Structure 1
């Protein structure tokens, strides 16, 4: 799974626009657009802002590895959001996402 699609799914799942997400993290909208288009990867400091943000912490493991651990509070966006963002198709390995 690509970082850009995962980031897009997180932004959609949390109900942010790209501008709103950028403001929340403290970066420019154009930078978020570069991340989502795959033109640029986030620097370590930006990644830390994302994964340490209270609203986005729950996605840290999934964003970094693609894994989830619901018992530890580490989840992924809903299947419908992931499908809209091109991360999954209609048939999903439910064990990986559960």
Structure 2
């Protein structure tokens, strides 16, 4: 039979360089970085599956620091699947 070469990687455990950071919760991911002067969008959905949204009160949300605009389904021409398509 063929002998296993000393530098062969198959079947040999490799230390995870970022393992301690990941299991401790200290690892950073792309979502952890926010570029300066970057406008960020969020989509809020109903926490209830298949719920019919009757009314959305955006007054309090508009007062939050950093909020630039709130777009609801009223600003869309037609729905696309479960997400609206905006005019702009």
**Normalising to structure 2: TM-score of the pair?**
0.26
Comparing both structures, which one devotes a greater share of its residues to strand?
2
Which of the pair has more CA radius of gyration?
2
Comparing both structures, which one devotes a greater share of its residues to helix?
1
